[in-house]
Amino acid sequence: MLQALEEKGIGSRRVLDAIGQVPREAFVDEALRAKAYSDAALPIGERQTISQPWIVARMAELLDPDGSGRALEIGTGSGYQAAVLSHLFEQVYSVERFPSLSRRARETIRALGIENVHFKIFDGSYGWSEFAPYGGIVVAASAPEVPPPLVEQLDDGGRLVIPVGGGGSGPSGDGDDQTLVRVIREGPGVRREEHGRCRFVPLVGRFGWTG
């Protein structure tokens, strides 16, 4: 899988090493484990998915991690992306709105001996202000626009990576017209970049799509 990620343009050795340390099969149902290393999203319950390895790697790469600081993840899902981030940041804070997914992710991550990931069940569009500011924020669901609370929780020089768009509300927020956006905090202002098309489930919440 690592060779395939490199061939598809992932150039960060730090990110590739982190992915190499996380067994993706631990985060999918047993019936799907034969597909764990295919470059495809897989169902994990609650109409949610574990993202394809390439998008996990790409979003992590856009955070430009140096192994230090705190990261915030919105959308714990299976816990796979949080586990990858645990090798890229000193502490990871992960928010999920489905209690069943959060509990299962916690169990999986702890079983792997990872102790620097912290979990919260809440509306992720608010972020997790208690531990802000963050050097990196990654959102594993698409929003109609970048949620202001997440921008406010970025450290100076911090990076927020989020899919934006979808063309509808609730479940219909999912769609092909999403763009992967990176927001970089620069003192009192921010710089916004676009990094290609993507496809994610919708971010449901106060600053996302209304469910």
The answer to whether residues 40 and 32 touch, using CB atoms and an 8 Å cutoff, is no
- Is it the case that residue 5 has pLDDT exceeding 50? yes
In the chain, % of residues over pLDDT 70: 95
H or E element in which residue 91 lies? strand 91-96
Q: Is 51 a catalytic residue?
A: yes
CA distance 191 to 117: 28
CA distance 164 to 128: 20
Which of 12, 51, 102, 125 is labelled catalytic?
A: 51
The CATH number of the structural domain formed by 64-198 is 3.40.50.150
Lowest-confidence pick of 27-31, 141-145, 170-174? 170-174
> What pLDDT is recorded for position 85?
98
Cα 180 vs. chain centroid, distance in angstroms? 12
Judge if pTM exceeds 0.85: yes
Structure-token pair, residue 163: 């899919």
Q: What angle do CA 200, 141, 210 make, to 5 degrees?
A: 110
pLDDT digits (tens, 9 = 90+) for 151-186: 999 999 999 999 999 854 444 445 568 999 999 999
Using a 10 angstrom Cβ sphere, with 0-12 exposed, 13-18 middle and 19 or more buried, the burial of residue 30 is exposed
Q: Which of 124, 162, 123 is nearest to 144 (CA)?
A: 162
Task: Look up tokens 């990620």; give the residue.
Answer: 5
CA distance 137 to 87: 15
Domain boundaries, the chain: 64-198
